[in-house]
Homo-oligomer: A and B are copies of this chain.
Amino acid sequence: MAVQTVAANSTTSTGTAGSAPYDLGAAVALSCRECGTRTELGPSFVCLECFGPLEVAYELPSGDPEELRRRIAAGPASMWRYAPLLPVPADVAEKPNLNPGLTQLVKADRLAAELGVTGGLYVKDDSGNPTHSFKDRPVAIALEAARAFGFSTLSCSSTGNLAGAVGAAAARAGLRSCVFIPDGLEQSKVVMAAIYGGELVAIDGTYDDVNRFCSELIGDPLGEGWGFTNVNLRPFYAEGSKSLAYEICEQLGWRLPDQLVIPVASGCQLVKIDKGLRELIRLGLVEDKPYRIYAAQAEGCSPVSRAYKDGTGAVRPVKQPDTIAKSLAIGDPADGPYVVDICTRTGGAADDVNDAEIVESIALLARTEGVFAETAGGVTLGVTRKLIESGAIDPTLTTVVLNTGDGLKTLDAVAATARPTAVIRPNLAAFREAGLA
């Protein structure tokens, strides 16, 4: 597991962090998700007591929820309106960054009619972010942490959305970036990773080789001063997804949805959305009532869905992911067990769909709501449909489905089916014959 192999370096990093008074807003410490041990803020990610993952601990604002709601409403039209609830300095919106978030919560009435949902169906459309995926959110937080810790290079390993988000964020901020990808990726992903002018290093090997290499690099003097969004900045990076929970509730008029369907790659996003919802309840920003969380995976890489469905909760790694939803193709998801716990605790479920269902669902969403989702969005809607049919999702309750990315990045998935309905000569007779008038 990547987190553990680089634990040695984490010690060094914590040492480096020393007692520097980092200004990361309401974040006051890092805390182990397993044993609760606290450590000071810094570029650490593994608990030195139990090797559990560290996460950010806060002193959240107390006081009148109505006052906090007003403060948020008066904030910027981006995720920074929730700065008081995130590990970022109060003046984060003044600094050069991509200002992601506050994407549309689409009231999907036409989709609801097709699916038989009567309780209100919404699509949270994160393709509206600056680089057109939800990754801009965690990367924006990682960038603030990198600035606070004095890192000069922002880095990651990626096969897609994260590469573009890191490249763009670093460019805006004037940091160096160095992104590692497996050699031989699709042209569109290479261009998105390279266009922002940072270093783009293709590794002659698989994505696993890339990850192993990054773990080596972070433990080596060569990696000194480097912030890896998904390694030594991970506790901060991960918090970015909380903003999705905040936005959904604010956009619903400070109400919790009854049901949320969330795609699962590492599982981090789902875990943090749950964390964000619980924070809102604790702060009194929303009513304390039950909600259900559903996890969506692709059949060709469904370790979490299988663990949920076989009732054991044991997440067994998938060695050879095989799905068109490449952004979800993490065979050994770090947060997999937490996802199973959350789905179980909240009364939700986990399920998966095959490639054909993914493509059908992309077309369904585009046709009914004018939202062109990437394959991960097709997974989430496909699983939503499946769970409505099975009765696991209650169609009479308010349901929010996440679209985490943009169809323009996964064109190949639909290119064979998204074709002209007719090819005609340029005259009215030909048009009449085609029967389209």
Given A411-B191, A418-B194, does the pair A102, B130 have CB atoms closer than 8 Å?
no
The reply to whether B426 and A369 form a contact with Cβ atoms under 8 Å apart is: no
List, in ascending order, chain B residues with CB within 8 A of A409's CB.
Answer: 408
The reply to whether B77 and A96 form a contact with Cβ atoms under 8 Å apart is: no
List, in ascending order, chain B residues with CB within 8 A of A203's CB.
Answer: 423-426
List, in ascending order, chain B residues with CB within 8 A of A190's CB.
Answer: 418-420
Given contacts A104-B130, A203-B423, 5 further A-B contacts (CB under 8 A): A125-B130, A130-B371, A171-B370, A188-B411, A194-B421
Question: Chain B residue with minimal CB distance to A194?
Answer: B418
User: Could you list which residues of chain A lie within 8 angstroms of chain B, going by C-beta atoms?
Assistant: 77, 96, 98-99, 102, 104, 107, 109-110, 125, 128, 130-132, 164, 167-172, 174, 178, 181, 183, 187-188, 190-192, 194-197, 199-205, 209-210, 212-213, 216-217, 220, 222-223, 362-363, 366-372, 406-409, 411, 414-415, 418-428, 431-432, 434, 436-437
The reply to whether A434 and B201 form a contact with Cβ atoms under 8 Å apart is: yes
Q: How far is the CA of A191 from the CA of B222 in the complex (A)?
A: 44
Question: Chain B residue with minimal CB distance to A221?
Answer: B437
A93 CB to closest chain B CB (Å) equals 11
Q: How many copies of this chain sit in the oligomeric assembly?
A: 2
Q: How far is the CA of A97 from the CA of B95 in the complex (A)?
A: 33
Given A199-B421, A411-B188, does the pair A98, B370 have CB atoms closer than 8 Å?
yes
Q: How far is the CA of A92 from the CA of B372 in the complex (A)?
A: 23
A160 CB to closest chain B CB (Å) equals 12
Sample of 16 A–B contacts (CB below 8 Å): A128-B128, A168-B371, A168-B372, A169-B370, A170-B370, A188-B408, A191-B414, A196-B372, A199-B436, A200-B419, A201-B436, A202-B422, A203-B425, A216-B427, A222-B428, A223-B437
A76 CB to closest chain B CB (Å) equals 10
A167 CB to closest chain B CB (Å) equals 7
Given A372-B196, A424-B201, does the pair A171, B366 have CB atoms closer than 8 Å?
yes
Q: How far is the CA of A362 from the CA of B196 in the complex (A)?
A: 10
The reply to whether A178 and B427 form a contact with Cβ atoms under 8 Å apart is: no
Question: Chain B residue with minimal CB distance to A368?
Answer: B171
Q: How far is the CA of A426 from the CA of B181 in the complex (A)?
A: 11
The reply to whether B191 and A431 form a contact with Cβ atoms under 8 Å apart is: no
Q: How far is the CA of A367 from the CA of B436 in the complex (A)?
A: 46
The reply to whether B192 and A372 form a contact with Cβ atoms under 8 Å apart is: yes
List, in ascending order, chain B residues with CB within 8 A of A77's CB.
Answer: 77, 102
Most buried by B among A201, A372, A426, A428: A426
A403 CB to closest chain B CB (Å) equals 12
A186 CB to closest chain B CB (Å) equals 10
Given A99-B104, A196-B367, does the pair A181, B420 have CB atoms closer than 8 Å?
yes
List, in ascending order, chain B residues with CB within 8 A of A369's CB.
Answer: 171-172
List, in ascending order, chain B residues with CB within 8 A of A164's CB.
Answer: 372
List, in ascending order, chain B residues with CB within 8 A of A128's CB.
Answer: 128, 130
A198 CB to closest chain B CB (Å) equals 8
List, in ascending order, chain B residues with CB within 8 A of A419's CB.
Answer: 190, 194, 200
A233 CB to closest chain B CB (Å) equals 18
List, in ascending order, chain B residues with CB within 8 A of A98's CB.
Answer: 370
The reply to whether A205 and B420 form a contact with Cβ atoms under 8 Å apart is: no
Report, nearest first, the 3 A-B pairs whose CB atoms are least far apart.
A197-B367, A168-B370, A172-B370
A199 CB to closest chain B CB (Å) equals 5
Q: How far is the CA of A199 from the CA of B369 in the complex (A)?
A: 16
List, in ascending order, chain B residues with CB within 8 A of A196's CB.
Answer: 366-367, 370, 372
A82 CB to closest chain B CB (Å) equals 15
List, in ascending order, chain B residues with CB within 8 A of A171's CB.
Answer: 110, 366-370
